[in-house]
Structure 1
């Protein structure tokens, strides 16, 4: 046989490369099986994780519902607004078979706002606002469910007296902004345009809502970041519940041959199951809870169940992001744990926490905000740099906390027994305690920054009105004309219970008699009738007796004073004006005194002719109206309600305003209310999540606690040790929160071009964080007593 006859041997085919996906799926599925069928201990651990994640997911679904809820509220509000026929708000539509006259009849009752309209149909087919089926007849009213309950309450007899109408129906949900809104429509057969009625020809205002000011956009972005960042922290913390027992069980898997990578993937599978179950629990809690949301009111804000409809894309994002986060957090946490066949070794001592990258995150966030630069007053705000910068700062604070806790507790030595138990436990493993407090740290830091931003913007959105609530508390203007009605209005207010003074004047307008060419302006001024006490409130008068007359000049306005003197000529006649065309003349006394005006309680200067009742018969003045400023004795119970009842009895359409020294911008007030509502809900989540975390830590140490009690340790000693073990990370966390919050707040104030007005804004927030920890500790004491029983030594 030659070499040519030899057949070459074929090499064996190379084995197929193993798939990287298959081991992942296999190990994740095995982890899911361990979590779902791991016995009593496994189920307890899984349920703790699921409950912690579920609470966070519930709030995420709630946050995802906010845009739809706001749009729904605004749509309902727009639908009941009158259709504008002109840019002029005083423009009236044409009278028709469908037109309606209406006048606002807003009021208050025990600090709750009541809104509504008096309505009169001008034809047989009047247009109706949303929520009602028929126009209320005279003497009847349709009301919101909340107002109906308020009126039917026997304790609210004063409110029932204010609205003596027969309730014939209830306004449906599509006619209300919120379920707890106090709203009504009442019928009238006396309302006219002369009495202030405004003609409505349709409903539905198509005008868009004005955009938020750039400063408020920055504020809204920060509010969203501050409210949602703690939620993400708590979800990540909940995923790591029961880590110690899980790691000991994974050591058994290593004993039967599982490699370290598979062990980590199995742990990730357990976290995946717990977080997925938490998403389902969160969804169920959200769906069940929103059915009762109409019965809940937080800071005067409520919503209908249909309003809480989160966007489907956000729901899908939450459903996928939460389990994915759980897997990543678990894999990251397992890197610091060495699981061997005979036990678990944590490399806390071998590899200390590094500081540089923990400092890099908040510094990077502050740097990003600095690169963004200052925001102009009319500049369109780019939300992304602000959002990313704030998130980096808050996340960096949460990551900095474990390093600080470890660095501080490792230097603690000696002290009472409870203190030593607490510090020794923290020295052995401070990570769990740090994670439990990180949410509070982020929440307080964000709240400090937002409150600093609020304080710096306060002057821009809260303007001084010039009103003086110490001189008068109410300001009333009636559209009823005629001197007799004006005098009766003042007298009725003076006779009201709790009223100490009425600065009331009968007001009319007078002109200089004569003939004037077309286009020539006729000199005109006002004529006010009031007693001496009233006139002294609006003019600087030294002496006054009934029968006196005064010419009141405006302060520091010689041009206006000269124009006024063309009408107010001493010893000469003036002529009264009225829409009815009735003419009447009166002679200004020659001995009338000239004085200077004084700001009245509402902050206005009044000038013109001012006379006392002895100089002119105020009941016979044509075209007269009344302006009343009312002072009450606040020590008299319900004095304000008596005043409002008198106003409603005199004229249901009377405008009665409460004097205030500061006027708040509505958009600014809405953002602040949103922050208060969100902060309240977030604090409740923080409390619930911390309680679950505390119970998980106690469950981990159940046997240790039982052993200590069996050796004679007093229960009070253990209780104090639990308190110290919680308090130490909290104190460090609050210190980090204050420092980080002040830094972030100062950066944000610089961005909007404002100076920091209050560096001590953190005090109440830090106090609230400390009180929250104390509350959680107190709630965890009953489970602590149960875990100290001797049966805790039993092993299964």
Structure 2
């Protein structure tokens, strides 16, 4: 034990003694600190998500009880969100039906008509010049500000607006008798589970690779010093213990610096926005178990890396055998690693989707494939550079250096390559998963703005308000109806026909017809075949349609009342047009119905306009804002998504932000290792300059030493990333969707990152090649 303690103490002293050792120690500690800070942020994600769920459950009406309670008056509420310059504003209309009505969390009382309580971010927006166009929609008097406990995220725009008694009988007004703050963990769909599982591996694995790479900073110089220890009598096992102690002291210093960096960044958590998401400072707390694992794993990984780096190095009293030409790297075990990852992902397809085995296979397979990138890169670089020769002096110097030691350059760019592979895989999986959730909407050659009107008496005022705007050519009311083949109650879902009822002005503006007379019927070109002329259709008013079903459509067996019957006339075909913005199989003018009584449906007012600016869109919303909850304005592209898509957007936004941050970490690691590479080779570089080699040639040589491996790394990363995405999405039963433009942008960005880092090292190259370096060696 005394000998072990002495060896460890010697390793600790050697790690920080002397200028060279101290520089190496600082580079390694800083690299590990960055990785530790990222890991601590990752360990805080669980608590951040949990606190977000707690706030969301506390304030979400979805968790409320609608069962009457004795002695409690109902609180009527309705969510009527709006969008302002791309930002969603959660607008809740509330009305207390008595003095004993429950009060939403965070409010002292239920706002009276003409009053509102807003979130801090919304209060700042309304009081700023940027919020001038939002004020007409939120014109009620602000009587208070919501506390943080009632706002899921710092930047959320939320308001509770008081409504009058007419709100109680309106569509969408829901009674509630209390609030249940219970957090309900709903299982994620398999598509999002895949995205989240793979995303965590993609984001965290490069950090561990970065930590292990930082532990190998100045490996050659360390080996030479250990050789000197052998000369004075140290044994081979003692040398390994001393090397382990040096790695431990750097790792411990990195842990302390990383914790300090994490605490410093945490101070600005509420000001940092990644992909539109922000968090509260007090929520950024690492999970205790994960924090302990990080404290134990980082030194262990540093020691294991230092010992693994010495596997082929024979440190003897008279020198380091590794200075000879290295043995050719073997590729079989590297390919076996990749093959094992492919096998795990292939087998995951037969495991139950969402099961623990399925998740474990995804994690193991993804990790093995991504680890294969930095593992394969040195072998690939070695094979390529052996076949290269000739060229300018800078090229020859670079190739010769790579032929002698390709592993160092491959390690330098390996971190960027593995991040690139993970980002490509993540981007492809996200795009494929998003496709499986359904399209966002049908694009149109014109701006698509529609106003949903729930009260028939408001149709004319809404049309007048919109038509008065200078940016609007016209506003047209369109009623979407559903008709059924008369006498077919067995399968109404197969015998229903959708009709859009509008006047001729609307037909010309929205459907592209050149001629129209009241009484005409039109069929859409390139759409499903309409019912044959003479078919008898009936309009049904279902007594209790299923929630979420199509308009006036209930399941087979539901009771309904036939409001009228209609015989389909011969329809005129509309020309194909990319600007067609109505959805019915048949477009019917009112005169064609002949007085048929239609079921009660809500009407859409379509806005016909030219090119619109962002302010024009906001003015359109403001023009009908006086009708409050009785209308809702849809603008194609910022319509509120369903819960599944909102969850997907949250997950994808977080992963995209993490991928960008991880790529920046990889860039920092690349800079640290490149600087260490120059410092380690300062003597031979100084000899070259003394021999007459221009510094510009050396600079270009260093650039080639990075560009060639990074180009090979990009090729490996693209193949690995797309292949990983294909293996993962096999279990999703959807077609692979690859954004090749995005892949190209990511690849070009990685190459530019490597070139930029090489350019940043040029000043250090100038100082490293001074002739004084030769005299002081």
TM-score, normalised on structure 1?
0.82
From 24, 28, 43, the equivalent of 2:22 is 43
Match for residue 545 of structure 2? none
Cα distance change on mapping 1:50 and 1:340 into 2, 3 Å: same
Match for residue 148 of structure 2? 173
Cα distance change on mapping 1:351 and 1:381 into 2, 3 Å: closer
> 3-state DSSP class of the match of 1:103?
strand
Cα distance change on mapping 1:42 and 1:653 into 2, 3 Å: farther
Match for residue 771 of structure 1? 752
CA deviations over 1:543-600 (Å, ceiling 9, x no partner): 545xx45789997357996353899xxxxxxxxxxxxxxxxxxxx9x99988589997
Match for residue 556 of structure 1? 530
Match for residue 268 of structure 2? 292
In 1: Cα distance, 2:151 partner to 2:428 partner:
35
In 2: Cα distance, 1:200 partner to 1:215 partner:
34
CA deviations over 1:318-356 (Å, ceiling 9, x no partner): 100110111111111122223233433316625332222
Cα distance change on mapping 1:451 and 1:135 into 2, 3 Å: same
Q: Contact (CA 8 Å) 1:402, 1:430: kept in 2 or not? A: yes
From 429, 434, 438, the equivalent of 1:462 is 438
More deviation, 176-185/708-717 = 708-717
In 2: Cα distance, 1:596 partner to 1:421 partner:
76
Match for residue 84 of structure 2? 109
- Answering whether residue 648 of structure 2 is matched by residue 676 of structure 1, we say no
More deviation, 641-650/309-318 = 641-650
Q: Contact (CA 8 Å) 2:274, 2:654: kept in 1 or not? A: no
In 2: Cα distance, 1:165 partner to 1:193 partner:
19
In 2: Cα distance, 1:659 partner to 1:428 partner:
59
**Alpha-carbon deviation of 1:685?**
0.9
**Alpha-carbon deviation of 1:241?**
0.6
Map 1:503-542 onto structure 2 (within 5 A): 503-505=476-478, 531-535=503-507
Match for residue 50 of structure 2? 71
In 2: Cα distance, 1:509 partner to 1:756 partner:
36
Match for residue 515 of structure 1? none
> 3-state DSSP class of the match of 1:158?
coil
In 2: Cα distance, 1:317 partner to 1:591 partner:
73
Match for residue 182 of structure 1? 157
Q: Contact (CA 8 Å) 1:597, 1:607: kept in 2 or not? A: no
In 2: Cα distance, 1:252 partner to 1:540 partner:
88
Q: Contact (CA 8 Å) 1:129, 1:175: kept in 2 or not? A: no
**Alpha-carbon deviation of 1:472?**
5.1
**Alpha-carbon deviation of 1:492?**
0.5
From 634, 653, 664, the equivalent of 1:657 is 634
Cα distance change on mapping 1:172 and 1:737 into 2, 3 Å: same
In 2: Cα distance, 1:313 partner to 1:360 partner:
33
> 3-state DSSP class of the match of 1:133?
coil
- Answering whether residue 464 of structure 2 is matched by residue 491 of structure 1, we say yes
- Answering whether residue 147 of structure 2 is matched by residue 147 of structure 1, we say no
Match for residue 195 of structure 1? 170
From 104, 111, 118, the equivalent of 1:136 is 111
Map 1:308-323 onto structure 2 (within 5 A): 308-323=284-299
Map 1:570-649 onto structure 2 (within 5 A): 601=581, 603-604=583-584, 610=590, 626-636=603-613, 638-649=615-626
Cα distance change on mapping 1:434 and 1:607 into 2, 3 Å: closer
**Alpha-carbon deviation of 1:609?**
7.4
More deviation, 117-126/757-766 = 757-766
- Answering whether residue 28 of structure 2 is matched by residue 56 of structure 1, we say no
**Alpha-carbon deviation of 1:754?**
4.2
Cα distance change on mapping 1:374 and 1:474 into 2, 3 Å: farther
Q: Contact (CA 8 Å) 1:374, 1:750: kept in 2 or not? A: no
Match for residue 576 of structure 1? none
Cα distance change on mapping 1:198 and 1:437 into 2, 3 Å: same
Q: Contact (CA 8 Å) 2:444, 2:580: kept in 1 or not? A: no
In 2: Cα distance, 1:227 partner to 1:624 partner:
49
**Alpha-carbon deviation of 1:28?**
2.3
Q: Contact (CA 8 Å) 1:375, 1:752: kept in 2 or not? A: no
Specify the structure having the higher radius of gyration (Cα): 1
From 204, 207, 216, the equivalent of 1:240 is 216
- Answering whether residue 279 of structure 2 is matched by residue 303 of structure 1, we say yes
- Answering whether residue 663 of structure 2 is matched by residue 686 of structure 1, we say no
In 1: Cα distance, 2:328 partner to 2:499 partner:
85
More deviation, 685-694/378-387 = 378-387
In 2: Cα distance, 1:192 partner to 1:438 partner:
62
> 3-state DSSP class of the match of 2:273?
coil
- Answering whether residue 699 of structure 2 is matched by residue 716 of structure 1, we say no
Q: Contact (CA 8 Å) 1:505, 1:628: kept in 2 or not? A: yes
Match for residue 493 of structure 2? none
In 2: Cα distance, 1:271 partner to 1:284 partner:
20
In 2: Cα distance, 1:472 partner to 1:672 partner:
27
CA deviations over 1:370-422 (Å, ceiling 9, x no partner): 33444566877621122112222222332121122222223332321221222
CA deviations over 1:629-655 (Å, ceiling 9, x no partner): 223322445221111111323335521
In 1: Cα distance, 2:540 partner to 2:436 partner:
41
**Alpha-carbon deviation of 1:744?**
2.9
Cα distance change on mapping 1:661 and 1:558 into 2, 3 Å: farther
Q: Where do 5+ consecutive residues of structure 2 fail to align? A: 484-496, 542-563
Match for residue 231 of structure 2? 255
More deviation, 43-52/734-743 = 734-743
> 3-state DSSP class of the match of 1:639?
helix
In 2: Cα distance, 1:67 partner to 1:416 partner:
54
CA deviations over 1:598-633 (Å, ceiling 9, x no partner): 997253457787259xx99xxxx9999652122332
In 1: Cα distance, 2:392 partner to 2:447 partner:
61
In 2: Cα distance, 1:509 partner to 1:350 partner:
77
In 2: Cα distance, 1:240 partner to 1:527 partner:
71
Cα distance change on mapping 1:162 and 1:269 into 2, 3 Å: same
> 3-state DSSP class of the match of 2:320?
strand
> 3-state DSSP class of the match of 1:310?
coil
> 3-state DSSP class of the match of 1:169?
strand
In 2: Cα distance, 1:476 partner to 1:792 partner:
75
Q: Where do 5+ consecutive residues of structure 1 fail to align? A: 1-20, 511-524, 568-587
The aligned length equals 728
- Answering whether residue 332 of structure 2 is matched by residue 353 of structure 1, we say no
**Alpha-carbon deviation of 1:156?**
3.3
Match for residue 10 of structure 1? none
TM-score, normalised on structure 2?
0.84
- Answering whether residue 476 of structure 2 is matched by residue 500 of structure 1, we say no
**Alpha-carbon deviation of 1:671?**
3.3
Match for residue 666 of structure 1? 646
**Alpha-carbon deviation of 1:119?**
2.3
Cα distance change on mapping 1:104 and 1:665 into 2, 3 Å: closer
**Alpha-carbon deviation of 1:450?**
3.4
Cα distance change on mapping 1:622 and 1:446 into 2, 3 Å: closer
Q: Contact (CA 8 Å) 2:73, 2:177: kept in 1 or not? A: yes
CA deviations over 1:41-63 (Å, ceiling 9, x no partner): 22221111111111111111111
Match for residue 364 of structure 1? 340
CA-based RMSD of the aligned residues comes to 3.9
**Alpha-carbon deviation of 1:294?**
0.9
**Alpha-carbon deviation of 1:530?**
5.5
In 2: Cα distance, 1:286 partner to 1:604 partner:
56
> 3-state DSSP class of the match of 2:536?
helix
In 1: Cα distance, 2:569 partner to 2:736 partner:
51
> 3-state DSSP class of the match of 1:315?
helix
Cα distance change on mapping 1:105 and 1:762 into 2, 3 Å: closer
From 765, 768, 771, the equivalent of 1:784 is 765
Match for residue 121 of structure 1? 96
Match for residue 698 of structure 1? 678
In 1: Cα distance, 2:464 partner to 2:529 partner:
30
Cα distance change on mapping 1:549 and 1:62 into 2, 3 Å: same
CA deviations over 1:56-77 (Å, ceiling 9, x no partner): 1111111122222112212211
